[in-house]
Structure 1
Amino acid sequence: MLAPITVLHVEDDSQFAALTRRGLEREAASITVETVADANAAFDRIAADRPDCVVSDYQMPGRNGIEFLTDLRAEYPNLPFILYTSKGSEAVASDAISAGVTDYIQKDATTEQYELLVRRIEQAVARRRAERDYREIFEKVPAGLVVHDPETGAIVDANRHFCERLGYDREEVIGMTVGDFSAGEPPYEAATGRNKIQEAADGEPQRFTWRDQTSDGETFPVEVVLERTTIGGQERVLAFVRDLSGDEPDVTEAP
């Protein structure tokens, strides 16, 4: 059984809004629909109720659907947003995609249309919930996790553990390459690390020891495992980085 889904429908035509609400709730018992007439009311409802998905018309008083979406993305970048409108054109579709729309459906008060809209809502919400679960796991792993672009080797994501160990903010780490946080002396050089990322991207998992370097110049040993994976529909290389500094013997000179 699907978990409950709350949908906020932004529609100034009260008759069409009522039809849509009945149609969606009839097609899916898991869906509950709330309706507001414009973008301003939608922002108030989103802040108060945190719906799972927004379904919005294009032509509305005040801000149109694209303007609403643009403003919404500034505050809620990951909230599923489906543009459901009779204003169908390539220009509107292009603007919606540029603004970060999740899906785009033309209005049609038929049973088949409600079935389609239900499927798109369920798919969008399922993806968002999976992404949220992934992020929670990603951050809770007690080791460094780093996601690389397989073509450039650049970091596209990293968890808190990795960033804190190296002494960087996440924003600083994004875009770095392996050479930016490696010890630098052979064999811990940028070219070697980049080759290992490429081999993993080609389907050959890698496991090796390395020396990372923090923002203040400290170097320390790590074990790295590289695997090719798909995240958010894109090919990536995932690095699991385990700090080995606690495993090194404490060598001191006798007095």
Structure 2
Amino acid sequence: MAEQQKESTVNVLLVDDDTSLLQVAELILKDMDKTLVIETATNVETAHKRLAEKNIDIIVSDYEMPNSNGLDFIKELREKNNKIPFILFTGKGREEIAIKALNLGVDRYLNKIGDPEAVYKELTISIHQLNRQAKAQNMLQENEERLRLLIDFSPDPVVILDVEGVVLDINKQTEVMLGFTKSELKGKTMVTTGIVPAETMQNMSRDFYGTVAGQTVNSIEYELKRKDGTVAIVEISAFPIKRWGKIEILSIARDITHQKNAEAELEQKFETLERVAKSIDSGLAIIGKDYRVVWANSILQTRIDDRNKHCYQLFNNLETHLSPLWCKEGF
């Protein structure tokens, strides 16, 4: 229970050079809302010290104060990139002050003149609204930073697309694989850049349609055209993500071009072997270093019932090999 109370509290810094008004405001706010933890300062200099010492969630500041006023205070904070929620709580209701305050980065401009219950109720509501907004913004920022780390440090190419297929972001690995820079791809589709042919894009759109509904797409193979005209063969997995209230598609590609080329080269060698083997009226096999059959011609394949067995089990019905040269001797 104590932990829930601690999590729900809001640390408020009240700044006002009038100590009597400051004390009254502190008492009223504490009485109206037990979740508010109040810190006070009678000038901007002291307020900066409180910010350095305490974990403050929101600032409520008067406008007219000696040396530095409320506008000076918010200007100093925003120049330091301090985005803490700031309410200007003043008896000066001039429109030009309100406009200047909002332009400097003040989140709310409230008039302290009026019925105390109504005035402080509005202040309390504004404090909680701005605190919730700040927490949500901080969470979004943290998620964005984590996503940035994932993109930048991923060993594989990463592309973020919107639901229309427009490129929003890519990492360095994508630039290396495709030969395009981020600026060349951002804001364009894979079709307009020539990376994906229109007919392939139709299949890709169908494959990726489920991501918009929250589904994950795993390891689908595509051919992509690099900037230099060569082809990259990739396996793409895609995941839906939500950023700033919008669904986007995070796609991770694994470049399998070398693997596919090696497989094609090996297949070509096996086809050559098969053509040679047809002229030999006997069994022919290639044995790997682990004593398993890598390839066998059609004559020998009739004797092989399980490729997972070792060659000495298949051909000599032995449980162990006799010597490293036994296969050669057996043939």
* Distance change (3 Å), C-alpha of 1:146 and 1:63: farther
* Distance change (3 Å), C-alpha of 1:166 and 1:80: farther
The whole-number CA distance in structure 1 between the counterparts of 2:83 and 2:67 is 24
Matched, 1:115 2:121: yes
* Distance change (3 Å), C-alpha of 1:62 and 1:139: same
Alignment match of 2:139 (pick from 117, 133, 136): 133
- Give, in angstroms, the shift of residue 145 of structure 1: 8.4
Indicate if the aligned counterparts of 1:53 and 1:125 stay in contact, CA closer than 8 A. Answer: yes
Indicate if the aligned counterparts of 2:167 and 2:189 stay in contact, CA closer than 8 A. Answer: no
Which residue in 1 is equivalent to 2:186? 177
Indicate if the aligned counterparts of 1:56 and 1:84 stay in contact, CA closer than 8 A. Answer: yes
Q: Which amino acid aligns with 2:122?
A: L
The whole-number CA distance in structure 2 between the counterparts of 1:62 and 1:147 is 51
Matched, 1:89 2:88: no
The whole-number CA distance in structure 2 between the counterparts of 1:5 and 1:212 is 54
Indicate if the aligned counterparts of 2:233 and 2:257 stay in contact, CA closer than 8 A. Answer: no
Tell me the secondary structure at the aligned position of residue 244 of structure 1: strand
Q: Which amino acid aligns with 1:124?
A: L
The whole-number CA distance in structure 2 between the counterparts of 1:220 and 1:104 is 58
Q: Which amino acid aligns with 2:253?
A: L
- Give, in angstroms, the shift of residue 154 of structure 1: 9.1
Tell me the secondary structure at the aligned position of residue 37 of structure 2: strand
The whole-number CA distance in structure 2 between the counterparts of 1:241 and 1:103 is 37
Unaligned runs of 5+ in 2: 152-157, 176-180, 227-231, 270-331
Which residue in 1 is equivalent to 2:289? none
The whole-number CA distance in structure 1 between the counterparts of 2:100 and 2:233 is 48
Matched, 1:29 2:34: yes
Indicate if the aligned counterparts of 1:145 and 1:238 stay in contact, CA closer than 8 A. Answer: no
Fraction of identical pairs, as percent: 20
* 1:87-114 superposed Cα distances (whole Å, 9 cap, x missing partner): 1121111111111111110013602211
* 1:148-184 superposed Cα distances (whole Å, 9 cap, x missing partner): 7x9xx795xx7xxx556557xxxx979x833499993
Count of residues paired in the alignment: 223
The whole-number CA distance in structure 2 between the counterparts of 1:239 and 1:140 is 16
Which residue in 2 is equivalent to 1:65? 70
TM-score by length of 2: 0.54
Taking only aligned residues, the RMSD between alpha carbons, in angstroms, comes to 4.2
* 1:43-89 superposed Cα distances (whole Å, 9 cap, x missing partner): 12112213000011111112221121111012244211001011112
TM-score by length of 1: 0.68
The whole-number CA distance in structure 2 between the counterparts of 1:22 and 1:164 is 56
* Distance change (3 Å), C-alpha of 1:75 and 1:145: farther
The whole-number CA distance in structure 2 between the counterparts of 1:21 and 1:122 is 16
Tell me the secondary structure at the aligned position of residue 124 of structure 2: helix
- Give, in angstroms, the shift of residue 140 of structure 1: 3.4
Tell me which protein shows more helix as a share of its residues: 2
Higher relative contact order (CA 8 A, sep 6+): 1
* Distance change (3 Å), C-alpha of 1:183 and 1:47: farther
* Distance change (3 Å), C-alpha of 1:242 and 1:52: same
Indicate if the aligned counterparts of 2:12 and 2:57 stay in contact, CA closer than 8 A. Answer: yes
Which residue in 2 is equivalent to 1:239? 248
Matched, 1:11 2:20: no
Which residue in 2 is equivalent to 1:216? none
